[in-house]
Structure formats: structure tokens, C-alpha cells
């Protein structure tokens, strides 16, 4: 029988043998994974657990919160404040940062998360997920402030997501490639099911919300028009399209079989750089995609190089198969 490698064992090996992470970071990731197991359980309960539907409140971005947005946020906060490895947390669902209260052990890391990604898919039983990113508190800073979080994505020390789909799968990078674990519900543990994941450089599949086409900027319109023209067009090949409307699920597909994902700036809200959030969604996903050999830009610049100015900052996102991302980026720069 082939030996099963649990997330714990994998992380211990990364710490002790490869020296890819410190003990505190290993424990932090284990706490996040444990919280994801809890969220996964709540998701599978659905209507039985009373977790579907709207919470009747709005988050800082003015979006209506679903019950699961709030439950997932609470599960992550509660698990991690006890963990003892964090100075503070920031979440898509909270206005400001959450400094770990003094009654709990204090640590040096900052954890950011989109507790429940793909909110519009919760009630229709389509894949959703949790996205997380870990930064180190800047050296020499006493206490913890929002400013400590405003670091470019290139400074992340760990990033990952957990997708709650037909399987619950945790994908992780520590900056040495991308690994994948599948939750064994009977054993209650994440088991290593993929190492050194790679995004193919080329693809014939694109993901974008086509209903926004009339609002797009010219470079995005040009790229999609060329895909739609298929064999007879300038690309000389037919393209397929997918849009799940859960970034985790679209990115997971791209990690599995290639593709390009775009949520670009559009004219509906011209003052916002995009819909997706830089710190909770774009940075962790961009790092994962880059670590798997893909690319991620905002059309003009590598996402990981963007200096954030605010916790809830938005960004235009183009990520996935390297050659396609470079093509769309080139269309913006021409």
C-alpha cells in the first residue's frame, strides 16, 4: 500500500528536513486547515445546518452578507486567536484589522482571508472556498496597525485556498511550488494528493463573466473577440469558455488543466480598479499561480508587485496560463 502523507507530516518535513518554514508558521497553517475542516462541515450540512441564505447585513464593501460568510469568518477568527502565532487578522468581511487580544498568546504573523469565496454559489450548491494569505509583521513595529498589512504580495510567506466542492481540497504554497491535499472525511485529515502542480503555458479555455462584455476596456474585448473567432480568427484555434463565479473554483480548474481567468476593470464602476480584492483574493491566488509556472497581472503590472494602499483595495485580475496572460497584458501595453 502506498503511504499516505498527511498535511501535518508534510509540514513537519518542510520544517525539519527542507527548512522551508519555521515551527510557528507550520502550526499557523495547521490551525487554518483545521478551521477549513470546520467550514467544510458547515457547507456540507447546507439547509440541514441552517447555514444557507442571507444574514441580512452588509460588509464594508456594501455587499450583502450570507450566513456562511459570517460563520466562516467566525470559525477562522476563533481558531486562530487561540493559535498563538498571530499578531492580527484581516478579512474581507471585517471593516478593520482584528488584533489578537492580549489574553491570548501573541505571535509575529499577520493572517488575511476571504472566509467564503463565491458567495453567490452558496445557496445553489456549487463549489465555494476559503482563500488565505500570511505575511510577517514588519520588523521593529510595536503593536499592530493596518499599515503593517500593506505589503506587496511578493512578501507573502504562505498562501492557499480550500475548495468545498465534490471533494474538499486544500492547495498551499510556501514559495517552493504548489501542493494539494484532499480531505479524508473519515480520518478527519488532509492527505497529500498532488505535488509540484503546474499550469500549462498554453490553453484553449478562458474564464470571464461575458455579461459584462459591453463594459470592458478595448484590450480585454480584443482578446475575447479573438478567442471567440476560433479557427477562422487570428488565433487559428477554437476556445472553450467556463465561468463558475467562484474564484477558487475557476482558479482550481486552471491549476488542474490550464486556462486564463479574467476579472478586469470595467466601466460599471470606473473609479474602482476592479471587483476582486487585492489582499484577500488576488495576492494569494497570483502567488499560487506563479508558483505553478503561470502568470498574474492587472493588465499592466505583475499583481505581486503592487504596493497596497488600503486593506480592502480592489484590483483588475488576469491570471493563469503564462502565454495567454502575457498576450492580454501586451494588448494593454500596446
Q: Whole-number minimum distance, CB 199 to ligand FBP, in Å? A: 17
Options 14, 73, 246, 297; binder of ligand FBP; rule CB under 6 A: 246
Q: Residue 263 touches which of ligand FBP, Mg ion, none (CB < 5 to 8 A by kind)?
A: ligand FBP
Q: Does 114 bind Mg ion (CB under 5 A)?
A: yes
C-alpha gyration radius of the chain: 19
- Which residues on adjacent β-strands are paired with residue 64? 58
Nearer to Mg ion, 183 or 248 (CB): 248
The three three-digit cell numbers of residue 9, written as one number: 507530516
In the stretch 85-104, what mask flags binding to Mg ion with x, by CB under 5 A?
-------x------------
Q: Does 228 bind ligand FBP (CB under 6 A)?
A: no
Positions 251 through 310 that interact with Mg ion (CB under 5 A): 281
Q: 3-class SS at 17? A: coil
Residues contacting ligand FBP: total by CB under 6 A: 11
Nearer to ligand FBP, 228 or 245 (CB): 245
- Nearest alpha-carbon partner for 292 in 245, 261, 256: 256
- Would you say 318 and 328 are in contact if contact means Cβ atoms under 8 Å apart? yes
The three three-digit cell numbers of residue 114, written as one number: 476571504
- Quote the CA–CA distance of 177 and 107 in Å, as a whole number: 26
- Nearest alpha-carbon partner for 224 in 273, 262, 278: 262
- Which residues on adjacent β-strands are paired with residue 261? 207, 319
Q: Residue 313 touches which of ligand FBP, Mg ion, none (CB < 5 to 8 A by kind)?
A: none
Q: Does 117 bind ligand FBP (CB under 6 A)?
A: yes
| 92 belongs to an annotated ligand binding site | yes
Contact positions vs ligand FBP (CB under 6 A): 92, 114, 117-120, 209, 245-247, 263
Amino acid at each position: 500500500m502506498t503511504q499516505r502523507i498527511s498535511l501535518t507530516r508534510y509540514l513537519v518535513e518542510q520544517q525539519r528536513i527542507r527548512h522551508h518554514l519555521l515551527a510557528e508558521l507550520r502550526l499557523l497553517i495547521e490551525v487554518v486547515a483545521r478551521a477549513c475542516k470546520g467550514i467544510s462541515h458547515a457547507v456540507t450540512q447546507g439547509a440541514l445546518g441552517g447555514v444557507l441564505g442571507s444574514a441580512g447585513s452588509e460588509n464594508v464593501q456594501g455587499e450583502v452578507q450570507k450566513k456562511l460568510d459570517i460563520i466562516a469568518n467566525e470559525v477562522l477568527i476563533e481558531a486562530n486567536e487561540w493559535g498563538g502565532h498571530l499578531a492580527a487578522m484581516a478579512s474581507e468581511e471585517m471593516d478593520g484589522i482584528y488584533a489578537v487580544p492580549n489574553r491570548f498568546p501573541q505571535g509575529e504573523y499577520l493572517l488575511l482571508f476571504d472566509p467564503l469565496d463565491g458567495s453567490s454559489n452558496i445557496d445553489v450548491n456549487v463549489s465555494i472556498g476559503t482563500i488565505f494569505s500570511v505575511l510577517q509583521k514588519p520588523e521593529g513595529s510595536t503593536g499592530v496597525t493596518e499599515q503593517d498589512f500593506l505589503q506587496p504580495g511578493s512578501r507573502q510567506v504562505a498562501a492557499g485556498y480550500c475548495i468545498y466542492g465534490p471533494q474538499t481540497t486544500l492547495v498551499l504554497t510556501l514559495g517552493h511550488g504548489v501542493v494539494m491535499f484532499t480531505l479524508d472525511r473519515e480520518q478527519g485529515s488532509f492527505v497529500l494528493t498532488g505535488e509540484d502542480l503546474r499550469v500549462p503555458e498554453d490553453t484553449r479555455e478562458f474564464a470571464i463573466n461575458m455579461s459584462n462584455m459591453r463594459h470592458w476596456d478595448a484590450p480585454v474585448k480584443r482578446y475575447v473577440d479573438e478567442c471567440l473567432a476560433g479557427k477562422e480568427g487570428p488565433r487559428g484555434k477554437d476556445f472553450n469558455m467556463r465561468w463558475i463565479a467562484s474564484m477558487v473554483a475557476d482558479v482550481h480548474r486552471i491549476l488542474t488543466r490550464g486556462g486564463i481567468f479574467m476579472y478586469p476593470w470595467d466601466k460599471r464602476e470606473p473609479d474602482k480598479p476592479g471587483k476582486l480584492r487585492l489582499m484577500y483574493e488576488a495576492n494569494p491566488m497570483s502567488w499560487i499561480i506563479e508558483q505553478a509556472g503561470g502568470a498574474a497581472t492587472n493588465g499592466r503590472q505583475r499583481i505581486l508587485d503592487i504596493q497596497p494602499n488600503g486593506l480592502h483595495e480592489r484590483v483588475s485580475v488576469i491570471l493563469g496560463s503564462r502565454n495567454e496572460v502575457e498576450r492580454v497584458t501586451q494588448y494593454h501595453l500596446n
